[in-house]
Structure 1
């Protein structure tokens, strides 16, 4: 795995506190390119409408994490299902009041990343299983509406890249250059 960095929290919505939700995979990759442009970085993706997106792995622009990067960052050196006690680290059906909460409101993992589990599912770059599901993309982390078993580092979900729903968001990643 090449060196990368992951944002400490999921991307927030207009109020700046709650995670952005109802974001399709396509919305997320376009946001990554727009953020890169605002910061003078080359885009990570070449996008053709909602038909194709090509990732330039060498680009330092913002992008979605790969599934492997997401899981590595979530686990933060731990080997269990979670990086801490669930109620302390995540918003899920058992403690969320069935609504999203401001990002960073629970304890971070050992890498300083918040909400890796719970609050919102996070889009990853990867396709789920192209031979079976075509263009369906991977979601990781579980959300505020999910039972405790969905909020584990190993749990995967798939969805069509045009899906917009109230417990799906995303987190920014960047490829780092050098050793």
Structure 2
């Protein structure tokens, strides 16, 4: 798959629910704001994240180890965002897919997606076998399906008024313009993904301090209280090669991380928007606002798109929060899915 790797948070949670009830709520139909132009995630299905306004300050790490994106000499500001508590389950994918491909709606996909790693009977397993291009087009479709076409994020490079609808058009998708001011559904940037996977607030357990906030150590799974060598801790938060039997499972069955996010390590790798480069800061000059790198989206071009978190077939060391995977934008396989993000 590597090639296929203020500081206040507000976490909006539903009242105490058993996990089945949480899954029933996740990604269900979104009510509309006044005017019907902004899709609002249902309460309980997303976590609202408010990173420190002063930015996340990178630190030095031991040579030869994974580094993540918050590297020494790099300071990143992330605007508030909402991240899905789970990977997108097949049930939601299929609902939107079936709506999108109707002639009246005009969407086209390269892959139809499948239920987890082996086309199981469970619609609550993460959708897999979808390409990066499929995912960005599907995000637009989901946004439009909720009567919010004007809030679609992914648009044509040379005409920002026209949204992307055809995942088979490789050139247009690969040159996609992401309008980060829009409130529609989209893929997380790599920095958004990693910050959410690692955030621990004031809890310094198995964490390092980055400016004002403690983040899980780079050599650990998301939510784990010890590094990847601790099989019990890794297994408590992740489906991976040692405990999965080589297959995916319904989303949300393992222990959540500090933000209440499930499966940020293991089960399915997760697409991020960014182009991959060995140096995550290479294109930072394109994202400077008020003298600080803000909401970076990676390199301007490349061969691979970022995938993070590891999957059911990954070794423990490949499920750690500092590992950066990469996959061609047309690539798809049985343990690669995605997670939704949107603006509050």
TM-score (norm 1): 0.93
Aligned mate of 1:89, from 237, 240, 253: 237
2:269 alignment partner in structure 1: 121
> Are residue 145 (structure 1) and residue 313 (structure 2) matched?
yes
- Rg larger in 1 or in 2? 2
1:17-56 to 2 correspondences below 5 Å: 17-41=124-148, 42-46=151-155, 47=164, 49-51=169-171, 52-56=175-179
Does the residue aligned with 1:95 lie in a helix, a strand or coil?
A: coil
Which range moves more in the overlay, 133-142 or 54-63? Answer: 133-142
**Whole-angstrom distance in 1 between the partners of 2:257 and 2:145:** 29
Q: CA deviation at 1:110?
A: 1.1
**Whole-angstrom distance in 1 between the partners of 2:131 and 2:307:** 11
Q: CA deviation at 1:173?
A: 0.4
> Are residue 108 (structure 1) and residue 236 (structure 2) matched?
no
**Whole-angstrom distance in 2 between the partners of 1:138 and 1:115:** 17
2:324 alignment partner in structure 1: 156
**Whole-angstrom distance in 2 between the partners of 1:150 and 1:5:** 26
Structure 1 unaligned segments of length 5 or more: list them. none
Q: How many corresponding residue pairs?
A: 175
1:167 alignment partner in structure 2: 335
Question: Which structure has more RCO (C-alpha within 8 Å, separation ≥ 6)?
Answer: 1
Q: Over aligned residues, Cα RMSD in angstroms?
A: 1.6
Q: CA deviation at 1:16?
A: 3.0
The ranges of structure 1 where at least 4 consecutive aligned residues each deviate by more than 3 angstroms after the TM superposition are none
Residues 25-57 of structure 1: CA deviation (Å, up to 9, x unaligned): 001101110111111231010137221211001
Residues 49-99 of structure 1: CA deviation (Å, up to 9, x unaligned): 221211001000000000000000001223322321211100000000100
Q: CA deviation at 1:109?
A: 0.7
1:65 alignment partner in structure 2: 188
Structure 2 unaligned segments of length 5 or more: list them. 1-77, 92-121, 156-163, 201-214, 225-232, 278-297
Does the residue aligned with 1:126 lie in a helix, a strand or coil?
A: strand
TM-score (norm 2): 0.49
